[in-house]
Structure 1
Amino acid sequence: MKYKVLELFKNNKDQYISGEDISKNIGVSRASIWKYIKALKEEGYEFESSTKVGYKLIKEADVLNYIEISPYLKTKYIGRSYYHFDTIDSTNSKAKEAAKDNLINGAVFISEEQVSGRGRLGRTWISPKHKGIWLSILLTPDLPPLEVSKTTLIGSAAVYLALKELGIESSIKWPNDIILNNKKLCGILTEISGEMNNINYMVMGIGINVNTLKEDFSEDLKPIATSLKRELKEDFNRKKLTSYILNNFEDLYDDFLATGKLNKTLDISREASILIGKEIQCINRDKSFICKAEDITEDGELLVILNDGSYKKIISGEVSIRGLYGYVE
């Protein structure tokens, strides 16, 4: 109900609205109005009040609720079921928990803060409040489990395109990281629930450091992780970036489901790759080998050339890739 109140104010910018008018439009008692305005103030919205003319919204909040992102959202179903939180443990965990009761294809779970954010291989993901985009998309594709790994490339390509719309040139480190100035800006974690031959659902978690400050990172992350603000020295609009990611994701994802191929995504992944053409180190548990990244295959695998001249396909999740120069993880 508080967002209906907010929508009324946003549709009447720079105008006072009386308590009586709010009550008539929203259908709540005048006694409840202050409660909703108080809740919005706690989110960061600022109001001016007058006993004679009512309330006026004078400052909007930097929050990622549906009212704020919907003006930029062009999707048919991605993000049209939208769950916004102030603080939770993990958006992936919340999406998986929700999926047990109500599988909504394209539902988005987003939080201003995660206290137990996770990256690949169980690593911790630092997720400070109001400084990044921490979201998960719940999907129910009719795909065999082996095909699901391809969707991680779709997530990476969607983030890359969204940043490009904001005038930011980044790179993709196959298959799930976005790199800016040789440091990690964004990570993607895809998880599935399923059986041998089919999946019940998949959850794609996307974490982007937007306005995160240097001091927000732990000492071990400061040399290898970064944010848009840290690199470009300005605050960025999280609302637009969130919507642009969801818009691009739906476009690329629908193309993949319709054609069964990654053509559109692969064009982007190859163009933006920070690995192709470079000598890299592949690490699998306690073993490692040096090779050259040659291409990304039609199935989304990383094709590498070994020292003996032979080719090897690296499957997502099989190894970690570490550049010999610059960004390390």
Structure 2
Amino acid sequence: METTEQTQEELILGFLSESGDDYTSGEALSGKLGLSRTAVWKRVEALRTKGYRIEAVPARGYRLVEVPDRLTSLEVSPLLGTHDLGRTLHHHAVVGSTNEVAFRLAQDGAAHGEVVIAEQQTSGKGRRGRAWVSPPGLNLYFSAILRPELPPQRAPELTLVAAVALAENLREFGADAAIKWPNDVQIGGRKVAGILTELSAEPERVHFVIVGVGVNLNCQAEHFPEELRETATSVALARGERVHRAHFAARLWTRMEEWLELYLETGFDVVRARWKELSSTLGQDVLVRTDRSELRGLAVDIDPSGALLVRTEAGQVERVLAGDVEQLRPRQPQSAR
């Protein structure tokens, strides 16, 4: 858990961030924190040793000039607008998989909204046992612990909730993102993010859900394995400049919490409608591969549970619960209403 010193440092960063390019006097910080001006100065010095550039000018005060590109609570918490999500942050320099760490924490009683985040994963998990490429210090890899009051059969809907929030956040950051069913987000037809949802449940209720998200933010083409360079991308590649990772994470968690609260309050229909607006799959000729078969046809809709509806050449509409989707030839994406 956070120490008092860490909390005070977060508050100082929050106040300085709110001031932007303006200076905040030591007296003002002292009053807001209930500390002496000497104690404020010590906390500022501690932040400087951690990589923060904080300018101090006599008779004017302090100004935050530069924040290190890290994803600890010091960087993220001052930017958060959530009630629960990300308020307790378990930061790791390196983990095997954030989903695995989050699952263990949830089994041990971690609360709703706690997040595991890593600068690097050595065994990042994608769908169907695939690896997720996770180079250090460039992208966003996290897993959120959720404890919604839902029956287990509705838990897959949370993947679509997360996908809507993620696609909207990417658009806010200048990337024309779209959702590929069931759990990928694309920019220009190339994968930029993936979502992996895992749960622990009884027949009648969910104990917890782990929503794992990986987003390629700042990696370049050379960071991808050669076999993925034609099919993967990053936000930096798409928009031509780096992304502030802590800002992106904080905005994403705020948006995820907003969508989660709306979903739990009103049901899946509002999520389904927005998902369809953001979809890159609907209206496309697709090949769906499952463990047992292949299915070709036109992706026409998702049903009220989030399953993909595919109209075959024979005119039958097949319901797909899980599988890999390949878009066979480009069409203009359209929403099925």
Q: TM-score, with normalisation over the residues of structure 2?
A: 0.82
Q: Select which of 210, 216, 223 maps to 2:223.
A: 216
Letter matched to residue 308 of structure 1: A
Q: Select which of 291, 295, 311 maps to 1:305.
A: 311
Runs of at least 5 residues in structure 2 that lack an aligned partner in the other structure: 17-21, 57-61, 331-337
Are residue 322 (structure 1) and residue 326 (structure 2) matched?
yes
Give yes or no for contact 1:154–1:252 (8 Å, CA) kept in 2: yes
Report the identity percentage.
28
Q: What secondary structure is seen at the aligned counterpart in 2 of 1:281?
A: strand
Q: What secondary structure is seen at the aligned counterpart in 2 of 1:220?
A: helix
Letter matched to residue 217 of structure 1: F
Q: Which shows bigger deviation, 77-86 or 306-315?
A: 77-86
Superposed displacement of residue 15, structure 1: 7.8
Q: Deviations over 1:93-151 (max 9, x none)?
A: 11111112223011111112212211111111111222111111101112222111111
Equivalence map 1:217-232=2 (5 Å): 217-232=224-239
Q: Select which of 145, 166, 175 maps to 1:138.
A: 145
Match of 1:60 in 2: 67
Q: What secondary structure is seen at the aligned counterpart in 2 of 1:202?
A: strand
Q: What secondary structure is seen at the aligned counterpart in 2 of 1:129?
A: coil
Give yes or no for contact 2:161–2:271 (8 Å, CA) kept in 1: yes
Q: Select which of 280, 286, 296 maps to 1:274.
A: 280
Task: State how far apart, in whole Å, the 1-side matches of 2:37 and 2:88 are.
Answer: 23
Runs of at least 5 residues in structure 1 that lack an aligned partner in the other structure: 50-54
Q: What secondary structure is seen at the aligned counterpart in 1 of 2:162?
A: helix
Letter matched to residue 50 of structure 2: L
Give yes or no for contact 2:11–2:78 (8 Å, CA) kept in 1: no
Letter matched to residue 212 of structure 1: C
Superposed displacement of residue 87, structure 1: 1.9
Equivalence map 1:291-302=2 (5 Å): 291-302=297-308
Give yes or no for contact 1:172–1:273 (8 Å, CA) kept in 2: yes
Q: What secondary structure is seen at the aligned counterpart in 2 of 1:85?
A: strand
Give the direction of change, closer, same or farther, for the CA distance of 1:33–1:294 in structure 2 (3 Å limit). Answer: closer
Matched length: 316
Letter matched to residue 323 of structure 1: Q
Q: What secondary structure is seen at the aligned counterpart in 2 of 1:103?
A: coil
Task: State how far apart, in whole Å, the 1-side matches of 2:126 and 2:88 are.
Answer: 24
Superposed displacement of residue 187, structure 1: 0.1
Q: Select which of 195, 205, 213 maps to 2:202.
A: 195
Task: State how far apart, in whole Å, the 2-side matches of 1:26 and 1:148 are.
Answer: 50
Q: Which shows bigger deviation, 145-154 or 93-102?
A: 93-102
Equivalence map 1:1-329=2 (5 Å): 1-2=5-6, 4-5=8-9, 7-8=11-12, 11=15, 25=35, 36=46, 40-41=50-51, 45-46=52-53, 59-259=66-266, 261-285=267-291, 287-315=293-321, 318-325=322-329
